[in-house]
Amino acid sequence: MSTPPATAAPPATSPPATSREVHLASRPSGWPTPENFSVAGVSVPALAPDQVLVRNVVMSVDPYMRGRMDDRPSYVPPFQLGAPLDGGAVGEVLASTSDAVPVGAHVLHGLGWRELAVLPAARVVVVDTQLAPAGAYLGVLGMPGLTAYAGLLEVAAMKEGDSVFVSGAAGAVGSLVGQIAKQRSAARVVGSAGSADKVRYLVDELGFDAAFNYRDGPVREQLRTAAPDGIDVYFDNVGGEHLEAAISALNLRGRIAICGMISQYNDTEPAPGPRNLAMVLGKRLTIRGFIVSDFNHLQPTFVPEMIGWITDGTVRYQETTVDGGVEAAAQAFLDLMRGANTGKMLVRF
Ligand SMILES: NC(=O)c1ccc[n+]([C@@H]2O[C@H](COP(=O)([O-])OP(=O)(O)OC[C@H]3O[C@@H](n4cnc5c(N)ncnc54)[C@H](OP(=O)(O)O)[C@@H]3O)[C@@H](O)[C@H]2O)c1
């Protein structure tokens, strides 16, 4: 019997020993720049019992990640300097020490921003990539989809006959809010977005009744033209001028779901509140903020309903996918913050 030479290559089926990941190199002040990120090579640890090794196929970049780049308490902990960022991703299981998650399965998990992820099998969810492409589990069937569904139907309590206004309407969440409102028999659905192409997409492809480009003029005036009889629900993705305009446009007992305020995420000083907040009183308005994770109990109704809508084509979704994995991820995030995406922004490995 001969002993193999010490330099023999590992068997072709051995999992890779090294990976690359995106680190937070410095904390942004105001708008983030590429210098705030770096790509690092790391070795991959051996699997402990009940763990999986996942090769990421696609990862999400999301506006909430901007808040995590600041060192301040929030509903989700800040990213650490010199450590990898994290976030939603879907990947293929390369190795597993768990009976529950087989090699070859595709899984949704929270360790994006890296090529390879080692994590407990209990922290991944097996997804069916025959039913929907991997990226859909980060968008229309994932966190943004549930955000739209819960925010509109539960938080804003939208009902048949309501007139609905959504900002950030061509993005991952907003594009679904408008379409779900249509499915639930809204009387009128109005969206705002940041380009003429996006406005056309909302009206011509997604069936919004009206849409406007918020860069074309004051939101208050454009909203008044788009919704001459006022609005009953405002789904806020943007804050600032949009929120103030919506308060003015809301009808008696109108409801606002505060989902996000992206226009303020890069501010270095707190933005002033809406100047017309006193209208909340006379109009008996409800303003309610929410975080999607408060609504995980809606998954069992959201997922089948959304699968039904996308299967029969009544809800359409678009993705803006950037290739290049860890090398492209930081720029994809920066581009998302400036509106380069229509629908969900994804990074493919
Ligand atoms: N509460 C929750 O649990 C929860 C969960 C998910 C998302 N969110 C929030 O929901 C919002 C949308 O998230 P998303 O993932 O669907 O992102 P997204 O809308 O797909 O992408 C962000 C969009 O924001 C728009 N934007 C950027 N700066 C703006 C500004 N100053 N004024 C108006 N629009 C601006 C850009 O589109 P334009 O070209 O139209 O400017 C950009 O495409 C964000 O505020 C996010 O933080 C909240």
Q: Nearest C-alpha to atom 20 of ligand 1 is from which residue? A: 171
> What's the 71 CA to ligand 1 centre distance in angstroms?
21
Is there a contact between 147 and 292 (Cβ–Cβ < 8 Å)?
yes
Q: What is the DSSP letter of 34?
A: G
Average pLDDT over residues 308-315: 97
Taking alpha carbons only, the member of 17, 25, 172 closest to residue 113 is 25
pLDDT tens digits along 69-85? 999 999 999 999 999 99
Is residue 144 in contact with ligand 1, taking CB distance under 6 Å? yes
> What's the 63 CA to ligand 1 centre distance in angstroms?
6
Beta bridge partners of 235: 166, 257
The DSSP bridge pattern shows strands 188-193 and 125-127 to be: unpaired
Is residue 145 in contact with ligand 1, taking CB distance under 6 Å? no
Pairwise CA distance, residues 94 & 117, whole Å: 10
**What confidence score (pLDDT) does residue 205 get?**
98
In this predicted model, which residue has the larger pLDDT, 5 or 190? 190
Does position 124 have pLDDT exceeding 70, yes or no?
Answer: yes
Contacts of residues 299-306 at CB distance under 8 Å and 24 or more positions apart, as own/partner, are 299/146, 302/145, 302/146, 302/149, 302/150, 303/141, 305/149, 306/140, 306/141, 306/145, 306/149
Is residue 287 in contact with ligand 1, taking CB distance under 6 Å? no
> What's the 64 CA to ligand 1 centre distance in angstroms?
9
Is residue 168 in contact with ligand 1, taking CB distance under 6 Å? yes
Pairwise CA distance, residues 112 & 110, whole Å: 6
**pTM of the entire predicted model:** 0.96
For residue 262, the ligand 1 atom closest to its alpha carbon is 45
DSSP symbols for 218-230? -HHHHHHHH-TT-
Average pLDDT over residues 140-145: 98
> What's the 145 CA to ligand 1 centre distance in angstroms?
13
Beta bridge partners of 92: 55, 106
Q: Distance of alpha carbon 343 from its chain centroid, rounded? A: 9
Q: Between vectors from CA 59 to CA 57 and to CA 65, what angle results, nearest 5°? A: 165
Does position 8 have pLDDT exceeding 60, yes or no?
Answer: no
Is there a contact between 162 and 190 (Cβ–Cβ < 8 Å)?
no
Pairwise CA distance, residues 331 & 23, whole Å: 13
Is residue 341 in contact with ligand 1, taking CB distance under 6 Å? yes
Percentage of residues of the chain with pLDDT beyond 90? 95
Pairwise CA distance, residues 321 & 342, whole Å: 10
Mean pLDDT of the chain: 96
Is residue 171 in contact with ligand 1, taking CB distance under 6 Å? yes
**What confidence score (pLDDT) does residue 2 get?**
39
Average pLDDT over residues 65-70: 98
Does position 138 have pLDDT exceeding 60, yes or no?
Answer: yes
Beta bridge partners of 192: 212
Q: Probe ligand 1: pick from 165, 198, 237, 292, max atoms within 8 Å of CB?
A: 237
Is residue 63 in contact with ligand 1, taking CB distance under 6 Å? yes
**What confidence score (pLDDT) does residue 348 get?**
98
**What confidence score (pLDDT) does residue 13 get?**
56
Start-end of H helices in the chain: 64-68, 143-150, 172-183, 196-200, 219-226, 241-249, 279-282, 299-312, 326-337
Q: What is the DSSP letter of 325?
A: T
Average pLDDT over residues 339-348: 98
Q: Is the dihedral of CA 334, 340, 344, 349 positive or negative?
A: negative
Q: What are phi and psi of 95, to 5 degrees?
A: -150, 150
Is residue 342 in contact with ligand 1, taking CB distance under 6 Å? no
Is residue 291 in contact with ligand 1, taking CB distance under 6 Å? yes
Is residue 259 in contact with ligand 1, taking CB distance under 6 Å? yes
Going by C-beta distance under 8 Å and a sequence separation of 6 or more, which residues neighbour residue 247? 234, 256, 274, 276, 277, 279, 280, 285
Average pLDDT over residues 130-150: 98
Is there a contact between 98 and 47 (Cβ–Cβ < 8 Å)?
no
Average pLDDT over residues 327-348: 98
